[in-house]
Amino acid sequence: MRSLIDILELSTKELDELISTADDIIENPQKYAHKCDGKKLATLFFEPSTRTRLSFEAAMYELGGNVIGFSEAQSSSASKGESVADTAKVISCYADIIAMRHPKEGAPLVASMNATVPVINAGDGGHNHPTQTLADLLTIHREKGRFNNLTVGLCGDLKFGRTVHSLIAALRRYENVKFILISPAELKLPDYVKESLTKDNVDFVETTNLEEAIKELDILYMTRVQRERFFNEEEYLRLKDSYILTPEKLVNAKKDMAILHPLPRVNEISVAIDNDPRACYFKQVLYGKYMRMALILKLLEVE
């Protein structure tokens, strides 16, 4: 039995297989409509979410399965003081697979060590978010047809943005991927992630200047400043609008640069860009559902 806590638990071969399955689901959805008949997914969300939770739920329904769960810690026994380990043991009696989001880094890992069914990390604090990375990878694959030879700009809150950490982990395994890390000095990529790049000799540069960096990029991954992880509201207010992508800033970008964002968007991308052919962030949402379908099939070992 396998869980998915960190994107690196999937080999690049397995990622390719998930992408092929997702492509096939997109082509032939009816083939998959009953693959999970009689199975239940539990969504345990200890932190607010719209798209990730509903994406998991829609994924399971489209496979013919059912969904149980809760969408805030207040409505679960955690509010009575139950441990994550106990919750995982209990829910294993009700569901075939668990998707867990938690504000504490490592909570889904603890759940996976105590559950008797697969656990999927649906975001743990400022740490990781592997299924968002699956959505990002399918988007990149469908837009660019490759993971090699890409210059990827990551812009915004690189410190607390867990989707950025997981995406870097996934992409750094491919040949000739260069990262341009665009953030205010206060929101730079954590050292542990930078060390993983240095160790693997992956090319990266840090900058504060989006306009300058944008010219080189094949992918621009915008992120929200993660308000809920700040200790100090004033600091958040000072940094929240550090980067706003506008049509003027796109003038120097490549004609086929893909713009991604894990959403929710606050101010980082002007709505004037939504109809630009380079804007991929709503497609990315749809692709996330297909990749979660592929992942559920894999972890449940459905043929």
Which residues would be at the binding site for ligand NCD (CB under 6 A)? 51-52, 123, 129, 132, 162-163, 224, 262-264
Minimum separation from the CB atom of position 108 to ligand NCD (A)? 13
Minimum separation from the CB atom of position 33 to ligand NCD (A)? 25
- Maximal CA-CA distance, the chain: 55
Dihedral, CA of residue 49, residue 284, residue 133 and residue 4, to nearest 10: 60
CA of residue 82 relative to chain centroid, distance: 27
CB nearer to ligand NCD: pick between 46 and 92: 46
Task: Give the strand order in the sheet containing 150-155.
Answer: 203-207, 177-182, 150-155, 219-222, 258-260
CB nearer to ligand NCD: pick between 235 and 248: 235
DSSP state of 119: E
Which positions are annotated as active-site residues? 51-52, 80, 101, 129
DSSP assignment of 8-64 equals GGS-HHHHHHHHHHHHHHHH-GGGGTTTTTT-EEEEEESS--SHHHHHHHHHHHHTT
> Residues near 145 by Cβ (< 8 Å), separated by ≥ 6?
none
Minimum separation from the CB atom of position 52 to ligand NCD (A)? 4
CB nearer to ligand NCD: pick between 39 and 193: 193
CB nearer to ligand NCD: pick between 153 and 262: 262
Minimum separation from the CB atom of position 263 to ligand NCD (A)? 5
